[in-house]
Chains A and B, each alone.
Chain A
Amino acid sequence: MVIAERKPLTDILDKLRPYRSILIAGCGGCMTVGLSGGAREVALMAQEIRLACQALGREIEVFEHMAERQCEPIFLEELIEDIEFVDAVVSLGCGVGVQALAEKFPKTVVLPALDTRFVGMPEKHGVWVERCQACGECIIDQTGGICPIARCSKNLLNGPCGGSQNGWCEVGEGIPCAWSLIYERMARLGEVEKLSSIQAAKNWGKADGPGKVVKGGRSREVGE
């Protein structure tokens, strides 16, 4: 899922200064399961903005809305009428959700309330970790199902750098060395020998934007 974090309330209030009537739009997809932009977070933010504006003596009218998935234009149809009554929309969607709103409503100001961080999964309650960088060419069959692009700080494809120590990455304690994990797992699978073959330079053209995928058709591809 897409993982995002909320911006500080002071930043949001600052950006809302010119507006008197706003709509807070949440997302029923990743942002709900990732606890950053679901119905609960929408209600909480609406309340925080109302109280803060009251304390500051600023007049504001706050509406709330949940889209099933903010990143799909079809689920934004239901906002067509309400959008006329607000000066700005505050999106609690990921970076895609914010842009879907902006595209759907060309005459409305749309502001992001989240910082989208990565594609990842929960490690435990309230903690998420990165697992994929959408590089466009999955190679984890060769690395024991562990992605060195997303999980090695240097995106190395041919083994650990000289900074791997006791299973930790040189960038800091708390970051597991992806290659240490890969090595352990390949050893358990009896496939360590596979790591001896040289991985050729990656075609980063596939990861390069703006990306487009056409089902059953030809996607844009860059090669050498």
Chain B
Amino acid sequence: MKSGSKLERLWEHGQFTVTAQMLLNGVEDEQLIRQTGKSLAGYVDAMMVPDNQKGRVTLSSLAGAALLTQLGQEAVFHLTCRDRNRIALQSDLMGALALGIHNVVCLSGDHPHLGNRPQAKKVYDLDSIQLIALAHQLREQGLRGGEIAGAHACLIGAVENPFADPFEFRVARLAKKFEAGADFVLTQVVFDLERFQRFMERVRDRGLHKKGKIIASLRPVAPAQVRELSREPGMLIPAQVIEQMEASGRREAGVALCQEYLGILRQTEGISGVHIVFEHWEDVACLVKNAGLVPRPEGLSS
């Protein structure tokens, strides 16, 4: 075991994992985290807290993950390079472990210009791959040449967007993330299944699915919001999907689409879990239940 993480134990036992991530709004984040953390117990293996997503100020991901941990929920905190230099990044990695959080997702972070504090000074001292390498070094070697190695037991996650360009380079970047020390990689939310499958083909051709775990993300979205979501950076939603959802008009159309994709992704070679980004926790419960993914396995002893 590299970490004290439940996710790592589940993957070691060959389990297909289910994780979820709430959308925070910067207004009632604490209640949202507490409430969804309780409501989704038994439906997911771990919950992730985003780090000021889209550059909009929300409750700290580290604090959010600590709240979940207090509730007995396995927590994953997202850590971006946007707002912290390597001193603060390392300090937060160490802090997370002290709070009992054994999973981190390392990412560059959305640019401040896109958020609600556009005049903020961006940091980007490290990029996501260098942050992965830093977390890996901290775990494997300790602070200085091994003196406290092992004390930094943390499962290291990363993200990759198969829907961004240049397409050919996305697989190479995934490879770099595993090489830098990532244990698992979350993909951007899947709406373009055809492109995702092409991405996975290339991943399998290079044997990358054996270097670490690849987790496909899904996001149930209401038909009224799908067009707006498609305009967000890094998001690729085929026109056909937008039109179909809008034509349906039913709120459940978003969940139904995810349900269909979840069935396909579970059968896709190289996918070790699903990650559901949600606005309403009930959507997650519904998806997981209908997929026959409950009850979730117990914490499995290490």
Contact = CB atoms under 8 A, between A and B. Distances in A.
B122 to A, nearest CB: 7
A167 interface: yes
Contacts of B175: 196
Given A166-B165, A170-B234, A198-B179, A155 B124 contact: yes
B130 A201 contact: yes
A164 B165 contact: yes
A116 B173 CA distance: 36
Nearest to A224: B86
B166 A180 contact: yes
Interface in A147-193: 153-167, 170-172, 177, 179-180, 183-184
A183 B166 contact: yes
Interface in A55-75: none
A201 B134 contact: yes
A171 B130 contact: no
Query: Main SS of chain A's interface residues?
Result: loop
B113 interface: yes
A198 B177 CA distance: 9
B125 A204 contact: yes
Interface residues of A, number: 31
A179 B109 CA distance: 16
A164 B166 contact: yes
B165 A167 contact: yes
Interface in B199-221: none
B113 A172 contact: yes
Contacts of B108: 154, 156, 161
Contacts of B236: 165
B168 to A, nearest CB: 8
A159 B128 CA distance: 10
B166 A157 contact: no
Contacts of B161: 161-163
Given A165-B234, A170-B110, A198-B133, A160 B166 contact: yes
Given A159-B173, A162-B160, A165-B233, A170 B133 contact: no
Interface residues of B, number: 37
B165 A160 contact: yes
A161 B233 CA distance: 10
Contacts, number: 103
B227 to A, nearest CB: 16
A127 interface: no
Contacts of A165: 164-165, 233-234, 236
A159 B177 CA distance: 11
Interface in A115-159: 153-159
A200 interface: yes
A202 B124 CA distance: 11
A166 B175 CA distance: 22
By Cβ-Cβ distance, the 7 closest A-B pairs, closest first, are A162-B161, A170-B233, A163-B233, A158-B129, A162-B234, A156-B127, A201-B130
Interface of B: 81-82, 86, 108-111, 113-114, 122, 124-130, 133-134, 159-161, 164-166, 168-169, 172-173, 175-176, 179-180, 188, 233-234, 236
Interface of A: 153-167, 170-172, 177, 179-180, 183-184, 195-196, 198-202, 204
Given A153-B113, A201-B134, 9 more contacts: A153-B122, A157-B130, A158-B127, A160-B164, A165-B164, A165-B233, A171-B113, A195-B169, A198-B180
22 contacts: A153-B113, A154-B108, A155-B124, A156-B128, A157-B127, A158-B130, A160-B165, A160-B166, A161-B164, A162-B161, A162-B233, A163-B110, A163-B111, A163-B233, A170-B110, A171-B111, A171-B113, A172-B113, A195-B169, A196-B175, A200-B130, A200-B133
